A = this chain, B = another copy of it.
Amino acid sequence: MKHQSPKRIIIVEDDNIIRNAFVTLIQQSGDYTVANAYSNAEAAIKNVKDDAPDICLMDIELPGMNGIEAIPKIKVLSPNTQVVVVTVYENDDLVFKALCEGASGYLTKNMPPQKLIDSLKELENGGAPMSTNIARMVVSSFHKNRQSPLTARELEVLELLSSGKSYSTIADQLFVDKETVKSHIKNIYLKLEVHSKAEAIEKAKKSKYI
């Protein structure tokens, strides 16, 4: 088998001390080479085709374009690059935005140095490295709220309603009359204290009933 050349990494991080620490840490590991290190996203994007990185470590708060916006731009120019966010922010919103934009991992800067190298290995193995809290946030985002005021049938109806189906389609799918669906929806509105489909869906999603 042919020898694998060491994985190429770029770093986007505006703090000089942290950036240099990452460079040193990664170079010393021996298994990776730092193709380039940037203090802003624009420069990284401009050079990403030449750098041809396997992995990009991306900070979020950066001068100019922020790290979240930078992710899709990197991915378009270099689709095989895996972007891992490395930041101090553990805010739900930022985490899910980063993942939606295409991040393959999300690390917080308070991790021990060895964890960074472990994470790179995890990426190579087809994983998605995440800090402890981030993994929990991600998994929790799937959990449903079981204290729902709605009955099982009502939840079924609301689920279908939230997928854009009409009353009659829902009725067909549940093998009941359209008027029955209407009754369920009336009860859903009563319980959720709303007066329209959109409000019901919004409230149910926010409360994680569906």
Contacts and interface: CB of A to CB of B under 8 A. Distances in A.
Interface of A: 72, 75-76, 96, 99-105, 122, 125-130, 132-133, 135-136, 138-140, 142-144, 146, 161-166, 169, 197-198, 200-202, 205
A72 B143 CA distance: 10
Q: Which of A101, A103, A161, A198 has the most CB of B within 10 A?
A: A198
Given A102-B143, A146-B76, A164-B202, A125 B135 contact: no
A135 B132 contact: no
Contact of A164 (B99, B140, B198): B198
A128 B135 contact: yes
B122 A128 contact: no
29 contacts: A72-B146, A76-B146, A99-B142, A99-B143, A100-B142, A100-B144, A101-B144, A102-B143, A103-B139, A104-B136, A104-B139, A122-B132, A122-B135, A125-B132, A128-B135, A128-B136, A128-B138, A128-B139, A129-B135, A135-B135, A138-B138, A138-B139, A161-B164, A163-B201, A163-B202, A164-B164, A164-B197, A165-B198, A166-B198
Of all A-B residue pairs in the complex, the 6 with the closest CB atoms, nearest first, are A127-B132, A99-B142, A128-B139, A128-B135, A164-B201, A164-B198
B143 A133 contact: no
Nearest to A142: B99
Nearest to A201: B164
Number of copies of this kind of chain in the complex: 2
A107 to B, nearest CB: 12
Question: Which of A104, A142, A166 has its CB near the most chain B CB atoms (within 10 A)?
Answer: A142
A132 to B, nearest CB: 4
A127 B115 CA distance: 15
Nearest to A199: B164
Contacts of A198: 163-166, 169
A205 B159 CA distance: 14
A130 B163 CA distance: 29
Task: Count chain B CB atoms within 10 A of each CB in A104, A139, A146, A162 and give the residue with the most.
Answer: A139
